[in-house]
Amino acid sequence: MYRRSVLKGSLVATTVFARTVAQENVAAVEMTDALSRSFSKPIFIATWPFGKAACEKSRSELSNGANLLDSVERGINVVELDESISSVGLGGLPNADGVVQLDASFMDGATQKSGAVAALEGFANPISVARRVMEKTKHAMLAGEDAALFAKREGFESRDLLTPKARQAWQLWRQKQATAEKSHDTIALLGLASDEHLVGGCSTSGLAFKMPGRVGDSPIIGAGLYVDGEVGAAGATGVGENILRYCASFLIVEFMRQGLAPTAACEAAIRRIAAGDRRKPEELSVNFVAINKAGQVGAAGTDAEFRCAIVDANRSIIVRPTRVS
């Protein structure tokens, strides 16, 4: 969590842990039913404290005349371009071969159209490429070299994504062959406009030092992200394999369709995963944010360190979600 990962046997562990302590001490309010119902549209909710800057950017863009699609995309861009965040975009830690491969998905609740990219190399804003897939192609996902070729044809600037800090971490990991645990933080950002338009995006560099070509839940529509304009939206962060095998974000939206509040829907999905895996929730590392069409927000997770950010017209706060154990 928050790259809280214990990168065993390397100096990275010390650096990561020190940064994490500071981040975990960010003041957070507890998620309650009253709080979840207290926000005014437009509303943005995102995973992790670093999602706060993204939500604030989305709010600013919307208030300055941008549409919700642009606002959500540009909010996520803020995190993707922040080199200090080692789990998304430019600062993302590489795979086992030292290559940064990025995943992202984007979905518009008004049309149910979506776009995604997987194992994208050389482009720092995969969320923008994913949106372009949604708007410029008949497809829902592009992957690998062909996703990069598409990004290049669409005019996106390619660059070396392996920052000196990430390269050093990879070299230390390779020397020690350390095990990266719980290094899978993702930004999932959901936006609800005053006219009840819903849009969501999800972006990540995936598990640190992963097997090349590994793809988690983030670019999979219905797993790491799902948006239904008539019901609500949900996004995920955690161990992608545990999330995608249950189509967890889609499941949360379906629970909301059945009448559950967003937090209750997130909790129900976690319990469904735990039952299916025959494991305790705390062994799963799955965490979710959700919002319904009425503007009620929610979040729940299995990780004690999980936090989310919520921003509306009047507030910008970090929230400690319900923990399922």
**Residues noted as catalytic:** 186
Beta bridge partners of 307: none
CA distance 78 to 47: 14
> What proportions of the chain, in percent to the nearest 5, are helix, strand and coil?
35, 20, 45
- Residue for token pair 């709080």: 35
Which distant-in-sequence residues (6+ apart) come within 8 Å of 319 by Cβ?
Answer: 28, 29, 30, 31, 35, 299, 307, 308, 309, 310
Overall size of the chain counted in residues: 325
With CA atoms as reference, report the closest residue to 181 among 204, 162, 214, 208.
Answer: 208
CA distance 128 to 130: 5
CA distance 219 to 298: 22
